[in-house]
Structure 1
Amino acid sequence: MRIALGLAYDGTTFNGYQTQPGGNTIQDQLEVALTKFLETGEAVQTVAAGRTDAGVHARGQVVHLETTAERPLWNWVRGVNTFLPESIRVRWAAHASDGFHARFSATSRRYSYSILNEPVDLPLVSRFATWVFQPLDLERMNAACADVLGEHDFSAFRAAECQAASPIRIVTRCEWEQPVADHRRLVFHIQGNAFLHHMVRNLVGSLVEIGRGARPVDWMASLLQGRDRTQAARTFPAQGLCLEEVEYDEALICVPESKSVG
């Protein structure tokens, strides 16, 4: 039986989602909690839609696992959360088809990146936003976003250690907003079929350069055409990045019922 779970987590103190030799990962914590919850002795292994880096957060991570255990869906939520630290929560559970794969079945992923744009940093938001003290021009940054939309070779925005076979990605949404309730915060929204390692954080770094007037609005187009990572801006810090949503063709009927995926 294949189970899909929706996760939210504060990634500040973790070494990313995926298990690694250094330990202290979201996957480690989740699989330990699942083992305790199931009490079957079977080995539990999860597969995630996005292998988020150290310090990156999630509101809409999706994982799947195989199990022989029969449990009510609500128990997968409440029961597993009992064994998780407060910084990780299962938000929903669903039965999935045998062919469902949290990573490879995903048709799109949506990320946000939050920036605190004011003269002095605020400790209360520093875990979830990156501070930029120079005033940023939202109109300039959104004009530059237009060049990111569509299918491109994103070599200029991939990490040196990126293992993706192809740098070609399709971006369907790319925009900045300034929430009415918090004029000090700027939020970048991007959605696409998939993303290269550090791609979102690298895009943000270059868009901020445009926003503060250090580069022209058409710089993004030049970077995409040049395909040279060394010509783009620095990688922005992890704490501003959040995996918001993953979409699938398969409709997942989730518990709690207020949540649906697909």
Structure 2
Amino acid sequence: MPAPRTPSSTPDERKLRAFRIAYDGTDYYGYQRQPSVPTVEDAVFEALRSLEVLAPDAEKPAGYAAAGRTDRGVSALAQTIGLEVPDWLTPRAFNAELPADVRAWASADAPEGFHATHHATRREYTYQLYAPPADGETPLSLESVARVDDELVRKACRELSGSHDYHNLTPDDDPDRTERSLSIEASRDGDYLVFTVAAGGFAHQLVRRLVSLVREIGAGTSSLEKVDRVFSPEPLPGPEGVAPAAPEPLVLTAVAYPDLEFTVDEAAAASARAVFGERALERKTGARVARELADGVETSDS
């Protein structure tokens, strides 16, 4: 049940508050509102209208900003929004009107002038890449998946980290967005490489193109010298370009605000764990069914 509310007939005293929002981006066309398609921001604003925090004719809440604009299919653990709200609006109360795949789970009272976009000092993404090691075995049905050399992956990550102009790894062309200081690391987890990419901010598609380039190098389809070519001032022609990796394995996992102290709402966090845990089980079961189909198809009619 939501927390007690101030009656709508009594004006609510508003305060600036930041919320941590987790969401499964599978069914959304990204975070930011777009015409005629479902977005996470639409879900957030509809919940605020249902709670009478946002007026029906208001475009957005007072003081509103979000930490990031994730693309279609991308999920988040730590999307952070700031807005002016009545004191009773806790994450638990917020969840009463949010869809199940969007969960508020922590909050922090923010100082005057707080801006969730501009005041974030660090953003971190993780990417789960299926990339069996070169010395491992790949199921027959996945023989088309390239194996990777983990040492080449580590070298590529080191070369790509640091302060550079990443203009060849994003459709953005503004140097204020393409020049970044970032770190990229990869750790082995069975047949998966788990990439962690951190920076103050990111140009459009940069994380997914970084992952794609590292995969090329690790699989041997591109050499380490391609990193130098990517960092050169000249644009990469189409055939030499780096396409973004798929969006679904990408998660916004952390956003840092030195001046905020977030408090986890235990009831809201439990709700989030239950929702996403159930989804994990459903997908694990679905993966087993798909594996049975893939492994059961005969290679001949014998």
Partners of 1:61 and 1:241 in 2: CA distance = 13
Q: Which residue of 1 aligns with 2:253?
A: 244
Partners of 1:22 and 1:165 in 2: CA distance = 31
Larger proportion of helix: 2
Q: CA deviation at 1:219?
A: 2.0
Q: CA deviation at 1:39?
A: 5.4
Q: CA deviation at 1:29?
A: 0.2
Structure 2 vs 1, CA of residues 39 and 61 (structure 1 numbering), >3 Å: closer, same or farther? closer
Which amino acid in structure 1 is aligned with residue 111 of structure 2? S
Q: Which residue of 2 aligns with 1:126?
A: none
Q: CA deviation at 1:35?
A: 2.2
Structure 2 vs 1, CA of residues 212 and 40 (structure 1 numbering), >3 Å: closer, same or farther? closer
Which amino acid in structure 2 is aligned with residue 245 of structure 1? A
**Equivalent position to 2:77, from 52, 59, 63:** 59
Q: Which residue of 2 aligns with 1:17?
A: 31
**Equivalent position to 2:47, from 33, 55, 63:** 33
**Equivalent position to 2:170, from 158, 166, 175:** 158
Structure 1 position 70 matched with structure 2 position 58:
no
Structure 2 vs 1, CA of residues 100 and 33 (structure 1 numbering), >3 Å: closer, same or farther? same
Normalised by the size of structure 1, how large is the TM-score? 0.84
Q: Deviations over 1:50-86 (max 9, x none)?
A: 100110010111111123x221xxx521111121111
Q: Which residue of 2 aligns with 1:187?
A: 194
Q: Which residue of 1 aligns with 2:160?
A: 148
Which amino acid in structure 2 is aligned with residue 7 of structure 1? I
Q: Which stretch shows the higher mean deviation, 39-48 or 81-90?
A: 39-48
Q: Which stretch shows the higher mean deviation, 101-110 or 146-155?
A: 146-155
Structure 2 vs 1, CA of residues 256 and 227 (structure 1 numbering), >3 Å: closer, same or farther? farther
Q: Deviations over 1:8-51 (max 9, x none)?
A: 11101101000111231000001111222245747453421010
Q: Which residue of 1 aligns with 2:147?
A: 135
Partners of 1:10 and 1:203 in 2: CA distance = 22
Structure 2 vs 1, CA of residues 197 and 85 (structure 1 numbering), >3 Å: closer, same or farther? same
Structure 2 vs 1, CA of residues 12 and 120 (structure 1 numbering), >3 Å: closer, same or farther? farther
Structure 2 vs 1, CA of residues 146 and 89 (structure 1 numbering), >3 Å: closer, same or farther? same
**Equivalent position to 1:198, from 205, 209, 223:** 205
Q: CA deviation at 1:203?
A: 1.0
Q: CA deviation at 1:229?
A: 4.3
Structure 2 vs 1, CA of residues 204 and 187 (structure 1 numbering), >3 Å: closer, same or farther? same
Normalised by the size of structure 2, how large is the TM-score? 0.73
**Equivalent position to 1:50, from 68, 85, 88:** 68
Q: Which residue of 2 aligns with 1:170?
A: 181
Alignment RMSD (CA, Å) = 2.5
Partners of 2:54 and 2:102 in 1: CA distance = 23
Partners of 1:192 and 1:184 in 2: CA distance = 26
Larger radius of gyration: 2
Q: Deviations over 1:218-244 (max 9, x none)?
A: 321331124524333211111111111
Structure 1 position 87 matched with structure 2 position 101:
yes
Structure 2 vs 1, CA of residues 47 and 214 (structure 1 numbering), >3 Å: closer, same or farther? same
**Alignment check: 8 A CA contact 1:134 1:212 kept:** yes
Larger proportion of strand: 1
**Alignment check: 8 A CA contact 1:146 1:174 kept:** yes
Alignment of 1:91-130 (within 5 A): 91-118=105-132, 119=138
**Equivalent position to 2:224, from 202, 217, 225:** 217
SS in structure 2 at match of 1:147: helix
Matched residue count: 241
Which amino acid in structure 2 is aligned with residue 223 of structure 1? V
Structure 2 vs 1, CA of residues 76 and 191 (structure 1 numbering), >3 Å: closer, same or farther? same
Partners of 2:23 and 2:74 in 1: CA distance = 9
Q: CA deviation at 1:210?
A: 0.2
**Alignment check: 8 A CA contact 1:155 1:227 kept:** no
Which amino acid in structure 2 is aligned with residue 91 of structure 1? W
